[in-house]
């Protein structure tokens, strides 16, 4: 008996010794792939949502399907992952000749090959040369490697800031998800070429300000070179930029340069509707990404516009494309939860409406498939931004002077998690896109009596115009907003502190407004008597700003001005 146990023990030791070097070799192989290519993909079995939610805070999950979790690892996360001792499998990098580079700009503008970085810049410049009245080129910022993050504005009077809803398409925040990059360039070309001959395009360009950012992460796509060779998901610092935005619950996300620039750009424009294009699956993904058990107040509207995108795809492409999940759509967290995603930041932090559209099961869409990608999606791209023309379009003004009033626009008993919108500070205009029905909108503004407009009809594919006249409070002393007791340091670069009066103790709403009257930041925080309120201003450009504090219970307000130096 003793001999039998001894033999069994020896066998177990031999098996352990045999397996241990294999594990070491596997980890070594994973490190080598990350070192050589800048990233690696692994799979682990799906166990439960709690484990998945803990994991997604540390690494970049790219998909969950068939009880398998796909994870992308960068130089920043590979060691943490190895230390967790998951039983994982490496997805060996496959090398295809799908990324075909154009020989020149003319060939690139045939949209069946990929442009070099210099050709991309030339294409964007050519748009404004060929259509000077219809488009304007702006720079959102520069990448860590100094490459431009460009945005093209298309509108009938592109040089002017017209009183029209602004919409935004942005692609390839993950540098190796390349199909959307060319898709966005081709969309810009299509809108500009067809403005005079296509009534649908003309209606969009005449009534909207359309912004297109084809390449949000040029360092991930081009690295330090001029052609696409080994694109990676991450920016030059190894960060997943679509996990890098302020989160509704845990806002202290590490923010990279590209993220800060994009936040500033979106804060300045306050897009009515936007979409962020990806690859790796084929689905329209709508909020929330970070809450599994909570739904957006306008979940039915999000479901409807996502359904319209996917159904339009099916009509033109056939049923084989974009047919996963709920026949091409999913609520983000029902798929898998992420934190720090752009979609939720825009929808929660900026009161926007954004979805994430996965265009292709293959991240690096082969050049031979770019034409098909366009044919499958271009009708849906028009359908999606047309939503900005529907819903309730209103003007909020002073009943006596007809001057515009910046007001909070909300639906009592309906809105939650920052789903309300605001009327524009300079024009008083607002857009609230809603599912068909009859809606009661309430308008609240400093110095005015709250006003509710009842039974506003919303019809499918139609616009409802309203004018709201707000009555000033009769006690004029209430309309005078006193100054903040103290703002310091002022000027500042990274943070200011606001010392408020005792009557402001409790929860306060904080709104930061730039010199053009645009609300740059809007959030709630709790104040404690005698303690200053810290305000992070790292995302603000240099210049002068007004900050308004409003106690959410008493409605008491105070304001102050500060200077940002960069």
Q: Is residue 96 very low, low, confident or very high in pLDDT (cuts 50, 70, 90)?
A: low
Residue range 237-292, pLDDT digits in tens: 999 999 999 988 776 667 899 999 999 999 999 999 999 999 999 999 999 999 99
pTM of the predicted protein model: 0.84
Are both 304 and 233 inside the same structural domain? yes
539: exposed, middle or buried (Cβ count in 10 Å: 0-12, 13-18, 19+): middle
Query: pLDDT value at position 97?
Result: 65
Are both 412 and 292 inside the same structural domain? no
Are both 337 and 213 inside the same structural domain? yes
CATH number of the domain where residue 496 is located: 2.60.40.3580
Query: pLDDT value at position 485?
Result: 66
Query: pLDDT value at position 319?
Result: 80
| 69 phi/psi in degrees, rounded to 5 | -105, 125
**Range in 99-103, 193-197, 366-370, 400-404 with the lowest mean pLDDT:** 400-404
With a cut of 60, say whether residue 476 has pLDDT above it. Answer: no
Mean pLDDT, residues 62-91:
95
Are both 191 and 75 inside the same structural domain? no
Are both 154 and 74 inside the same structural domain? no
Are both 362 and 399 inside the same structural domain? no
With a cut of 70, say whether residue 95 has pLDDT above it. Answer: no
Of 388, 412, 431, which closes a domain?
Answer: 388
Of 67, 91, 115, which closes a domain?
Answer: 91
Rounded Cα gap, residues 149 and 218, in angstroms? 7
Q: Using the structure block, give the residue that is written with the tokens 């190894």.
A: 238
Are both 423 and 512 inside the same structural domain? no
Q: Is residue 420 very low, low, confident or very high in pLDDT (cuts 50, 70, 90)?
A: very high
Helix (H) or strand (E) holding 535: strand 533-536
Query: pLDDT value at position 251?
Result: 64
Mean pLDDT, residues 478-503:
78
Of 36, 62, 91, which closes a domain?
Answer: 91
Are both 431 and 500 inside the same structural domain? no
- Assess if residue 456 is contained within a domain: yes
Query: pLDDT value at position 18?
Result: 40
Query: pLDDT value at position 517?
Result: 66
Query: pLDDT value at position 292?
Result: 94
Query: pLDDT value at position 255?
Result: 85
Query: pLDDT value at position 481?
Result: 56
Rounded Cα gap, residues 173 and 184, in angstroms? 13
Rounded Cα gap, residues 274 and 165, in angstroms? 11
Query: pLDDT value at position 59?
Result: 96
Query: What string of DSSP letters covers 374-417?
Result: HHHHHHHHHHHHGGGGSEEEEEEEETTT--B---EEE-TTT--T
Q: Please, what is the average pLDDT of the chain? A: 91
With a cut of 50, say whether residue 16 has pLDDT above it. Answer: no
- Tally of domains within the chain: 4
- Top pLDDT among 288 and 504 is at 288
Residue 93 C-alpha from the chain's centroid: 28
Q: For residue 496, what are the domain limits? A: 481-564
Are both 179 and 327 inside the same structural domain? yes
Q: How many CB atoms lie within 10 A of CB 468?
A: 21
Are both 139 and 47 inside the same structural domain? no
Q: Is residue 477 very low, low, confident or very high in pLDDT (cuts 50, 70, 90)?
A: very low
With a cut of 70, say whether residue 385 has pLDDT above it. Answer: yes
């Amino acid at each position: 008996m003793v001999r039998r146990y001894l033999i069994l023990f020896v066998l177990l030791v031999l098996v352990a010794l045999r397996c241990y070097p294999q594990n070491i070799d596997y980890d070594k192989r994973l490190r080598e792939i990350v070192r050589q290519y800048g990233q690696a993909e692994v799979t682990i079995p799906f166990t439960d949502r709690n484990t998945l939610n803990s994991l997604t805070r540390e690494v970049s999950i790219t998909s969950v399907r068939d009880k398998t979790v796909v994870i992308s690892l960068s130089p920043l996360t590979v060691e943490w992952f190895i230390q967790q001792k998951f039983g994982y499998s490496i997805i060996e990098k496959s090398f295809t000749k799908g990324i075909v580079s154009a020989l020149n700009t003319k060939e690139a503008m045939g949209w069946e090959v990929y442009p070099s970085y210099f050709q991309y810049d030339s294409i964007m410049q050519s748009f404004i040369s060929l259509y000077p009245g219809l488009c304007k080129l702006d720079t959102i910022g520069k990448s860590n490697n100094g490459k431009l993050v460009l945005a093209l504005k298309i509108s009938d009077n592109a040089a002017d800031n017209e009183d029209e809803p602004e919409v935004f398409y942005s692609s390839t925040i993950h540098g190796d998800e390349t199909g959307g990059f060319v898709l966005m360039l081709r969309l810009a070309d299509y809108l500009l070429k067809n403005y005079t001959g296509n009534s649908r395009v003309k209606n969009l360009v005449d009534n909207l300000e359309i912004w297109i950012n084809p390449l949000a992460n040029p360092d991930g796509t081009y690295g330090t070179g001029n052609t696409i060779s080994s694109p990676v998901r991450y920016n030059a610092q190894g960060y997943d930029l679509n996990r890098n935005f302020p989160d509704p619950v845990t806002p202290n996300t590490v923010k990279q340069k590209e993220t800060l620039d994009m936040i500033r750009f979106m804060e300045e424009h306050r897009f009515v509707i936007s979409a962020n294009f990806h690859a790796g699956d084929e689905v329209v993904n709508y909020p929330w990404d970070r809450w599994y058990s909570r739904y957006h107040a306008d979940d039915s509207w999000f479901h409807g516009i996502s359904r319209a995108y996917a159904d339009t795809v099916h009509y033109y492409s056939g049923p084989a494309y974009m047919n996963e999940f709920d026949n091409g759509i999913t609520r983000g967290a029902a798929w898998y939860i992420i934190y720090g995603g752009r979609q939720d930041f825009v929808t929660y932090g900026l009161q926007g409406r954004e979805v994430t559209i996965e265009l292709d099961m293959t991240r690096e869409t082969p050049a031979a498939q770019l034409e098909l990608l366009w044919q499958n999606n271009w009708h849906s791209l028009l359908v999606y931004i047309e939503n900005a023309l529907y819903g309730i379009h209103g003007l909020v003004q002073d009943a006596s002077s007809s001057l515009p009033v910046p007001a909070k626009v909300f639906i009592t008993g309906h809105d939650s998690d920052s789903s309300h919108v605001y009327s524009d500070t300079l024009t008083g205009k607002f857009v609230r896109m809603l599912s068909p029905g009859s809606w009661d909108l309430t308008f609240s503004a400093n110095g005015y009596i709250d006003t509710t407009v009842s039974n506003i009809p919303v019809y499918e594919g139609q616009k409802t115009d309203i004018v709201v006249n707000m009555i000033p409070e009769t006690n004029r002393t209430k309309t005078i907003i006193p100054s903040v007791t103290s703002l310091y340091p002022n000027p500042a670069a990274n943070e200011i502190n606001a010392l408020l009066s005792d009557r402001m103790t409790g929860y306060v709403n904080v709104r930061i407004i730039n010199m053009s009257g645009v609300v740059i930041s809007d959030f709630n925080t709790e104040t404690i008597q005698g303690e200053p309120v810290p305000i992070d201003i790292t995302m603000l450009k240099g210049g002068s700003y007004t900050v308004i504090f409003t106690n959410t219970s008493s409605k008491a307000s105070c304001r102050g001005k500060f200077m940002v130096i960069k």
